[in-house]
Amino acid sequence: MSLVVAKFGGTSVATPERVLSVAKRLVQRKRSGDKVVAVVSAMGKTTDDLIALANQVNTNPPAREMDTLLSTGELVSMAMVAMAIHSQGEEAISLSGRQVGLVTNDVHGKAKIREIHAERIKEALEEDKIVIVAGFQGIDANGDVTTLGRGGSDTTAVAIAAGIHADVCEIYTDVDGVYSADPRVAPKAQKIDVISYEEMLEMAAAGAGVLHKRCVEFARKYGVTIHCRSSFNDEPGTLVKEYESHMEKALVTGVAHDSSEAKFTIRDVPDTEGIAATVFGALADANISVDMIIQNISEDGHADISFTSPKADINRTREVMEAIVEKTGAAEFVVAEDIAKVSIVGAGMKAAPGVAAKMFRTLADAGINLSLITTSDIRTSVVIPGDKGPEAVRALHTAFGLDGDDVFEETQLSAEELAAKMAKGR
């Protein structure tokens, strides 16, 4: 018998038919002897619909009211799943963020979990019920509803798994695990069976979108094992847990890429003390997140500063940079939108200094220029021309011995085609 937390995203509960299919899966799981807690997101596009509804009465709605509004999406889906389980002949009880005692700070829209009082879940499990919990939501000290922001439902699931000491937190998604690279780009990518928290965090930071960094951080902090798996089949997926590499393990676990960022360079900034603080302070004030940062100081006392930040924020970033050029007397700033960030991630890199060099050599051999390089303990990232992204991923995947025998036949599968293919149990 296992104690399992299972999280289902909006796509998995998008229609009454899919709700029934999730219910059947949970019932089957319970009948096989497990105790089951499910965490659910809002059905399909409900959250987007509610945001659109709100915007019709207020284009800048107060965050407290927005949280109350959005939280109804998960209340609907938890009740629906509980009802569907009853229709399959098992007992179920739905519990809101408030009812599971998920207490957060009061930062509406991106609240952080402070504590969880899981008594009610435990009681219900002892009464032999399947427990359905609303993801994404909690309450603050005033009893007001809060939401957890991006990746909120995954984080709810991990927090509950920690709170009830579950054996595993299963995150059901439309792919069947974490891959050594995006299989749509690298057809020889292989599913990773086990990955450490640290590697998964670096993969997430490098653009691998399967799990949110935040829920992985939470899992690491509380030692929760995550099982990332497909909602379309029963195949095992990827385990994310405390994990020591074996001696024979590959140096590199995965190759990630990310085309969502642009590169900004501000040239010939007079190199006064605190210039980096000025630039990145201004960006932080504008709530623009910055990923890679490089500063070169020339001999004449001028500096070039480059960084990457989301393309989505490009207009705001331009405004901030124009003001900084004016203020600092820099020569100019330039923007490169057509870039890709490619990263290799692996705990084995720590003890093997030649890994980065091998990465650069591989890309050079493929005729790919690097414009920025950053490294951490277990990740090396480079910025290259945007159109070279897929080629770089494949070259690195092969060079680091990650290629499998199983090959995706098409490199340009849509997300849905990919899911369908995976559902067939490849």
Give the distance between the most distant pair of CA atoms in the chain.
78
DSSP 379: E
Shortest CB 422 distance to its own copies, Å: 26
Residue of 2, 32, 48, 58 that binds its own copies (CB under 8 A): 58
Residue of 45, 64, 213, 311 that binds its own copies (CB under 8 A): 64
Non-local (6+) Cβ contacts of 209 within 8 A are none
Residue of 3, 14, 34, 72 that binds its own copies (CB under 8 A): 72
Residue of 75, 194, 335, 373 that binds its own copies (CB under 8 A): 75
Query: Is the Cβ–Cβ distance between 74 and 41 less than 8 Å?
Result: yes
d(CA 269, CA 282): 15
| Interaction residues for its own copies, span 144-183 (CB under 8 A) | 144
Cα angle vertex 423, ends 422, 424, to 5°? 90
CA dihedral (348, 352, 357, 362) in degrees, to 10, reads -40
The answer to the question of residue 80 lying near its own copies (CB under 8 A) is yes
The answer to the question of residue 78 lying near its own copies (CB under 8 A) is yes
Residue of 14, 61, 271, 413 that binds its own copies (CB under 8 A): 61
Shortest CB 163 distance to its own copies, Å: 18
Residue of 4, 5, 19, 330 that binds its own copies (CB under 8 A): 19
Q: Which is nearer to its own copies, 119 or 417 (CB)?
A: 119
The answer to the question of residue 141 lying near its own copies (CB under 8 A) is no
Residue of 94, 137, 196, 317 that binds its own copies (CB under 8 A): 94
The answer to the question of residue 59 lying near its own copies (CB under 8 A) is yes
d(CA 85, CA 75): 16
* Residue at token pair 């891959």: 179
Q: Other C-beta atoms within 10 Å of 261: how many?
A: 25
What distances in angstroms separate CA 291 from CA 80, 215, 323, one per listed residue?
40, 19, 21
The answer to the question of residue 109 lying near its own copies (CB under 8 A) is no
The answer to the question of residue 20 lying near its own copies (CB under 8 A) is yes
d(CA 3, CA 417): 33
The answer to the question of residue 194 lying near its own copies (CB under 8 A) is no
Q: Which is nearer to its own copies, 67 or 198 (CB)?
A: 67
Of the candidates 228, 232, 179, the one whose C-alpha atom is nearest the C-alpha of residue 420 is: 232
Written as one string, the DSSP assignment of 68-134 is HHHHHHHHHHHHHHHHHHHHTT--EEEE-TTTTTEEE-S-TTS--EEEE-THHHHHHHHTTPEEEEE
* Residue at token pair 């299963």: 170
Residue of 5, 40, 84, 419 that binds its own copies (CB under 8 A): 84
Shortest CB 73 distance to its own copies, Å: 8
Q: Which is nearer to its own copies, 57 or 247 (CB)?
A: 57
Q: Which is nearer to its own copies, 146 or 308 (CB)?
A: 146
CA dihedral (249, 363, 357, 255) in degrees, to 10, reads -30
The answer to the question of residue 45 lying near its own copies (CB under 8 A) is no
CA dihedral (45, 51, 54, 60) in degrees, to 10, reads -170
The answer to the question of residue 105 lying near its own copies (CB under 8 A) is no
Options 92-100, 179-187, 291-299, 340-348: segment touching its own copies (CB under 8 A):
92-100
Shortest CB 68 distance to its own copies, Å: 4
Q: Please count the residues of this chain forming the interface with its own copies, following the rule CB under 8 A.
A: 38
Query: Is the Cβ–Cβ distance between 120 and 100 less than 8 Å?
Result: yes
The answer to the question of residue 366 lying near its own copies (CB under 8 A) is no
Residue of 28, 34, 45, 50 that binds its own copies (CB under 8 A): 50
Options 14-22, 157-165, 195-203, 233-241: segment touching its own copies (CB under 8 A):
14-22
The HSE-up count of residue 218 (CA atoms within 13 Å, CB side) is 25
The answer to the question of residue 28 lying near its own copies (CB under 8 A) is no
Pairing of strands 130-134, 35-40: parallel
Beta bridge mates, 40: 8, 134
* Residue at token pair 């089949």: 233
The answer to the question of residue 86 lying near its own copies (CB under 8 A) is yes
Residue of 2, 32, 62, 115 that binds its own copies (CB under 8 A): 62
The answer to the question of residue 54 lying near its own copies (CB under 8 A) is yes
**Footprint of its own copies (CB under 8 A):** 16, 19-20, 23, 50, 53-54, 56-59, 61-62, 64-66, 68-69, 71-72, 75-76, 78-80, 82-84, 86-87, 92-94, 96, 98-99, 143-144
